[in-house]
Amino acid sequence: MKSEVMLELLEAAATQLAVKVSYEPLAAAVGMGGLCRVKGQYRVIIDKRATASERVATLATALSTFDVGSLELPDQVRQVLKFHSC
């Protein structure tokens, strides 16, 4: 599956989990981004200069911390989340 398609599917999963995803310029010291909590709401901030595959890795790592068992996700998305789980 292409990275762009996987990214769209992961963004849809984030929406189902009520996790906001944003793309912003980040300093090199911060890395590619990650999960945080702002005013009680989960948010994944990803460096807007990241490649599609880097965006997939960052978002998958963040979403792998959530219970996605009840979400309707393609098997490939579940495999990516499992691969990136901590």
Q: What is the pLDDT of residues 17-40, one digit of tens each?
A: 999 999 999 887 677 899 999 999
**What pLDDT shows up at residue 78?**
93
Q: Where are the domains of the chain?
A: 3-83
Q: How confident is the model at residue 10 (pLDDT cuts 50, 70, 90)?
A: very high
Instruction: Spell 33-51 as b/e; 16+ CB within 10 A means b.
Output: bebeeeeeebbbbbbeebe
**What pLDDT shows up at residue 86?**
62
53 vs 36: CA distance, rounded Å: 21
**What pLDDT shows up at residue 32?**
81
Percent of the chain with pLDDT strictly greater than 70: 97
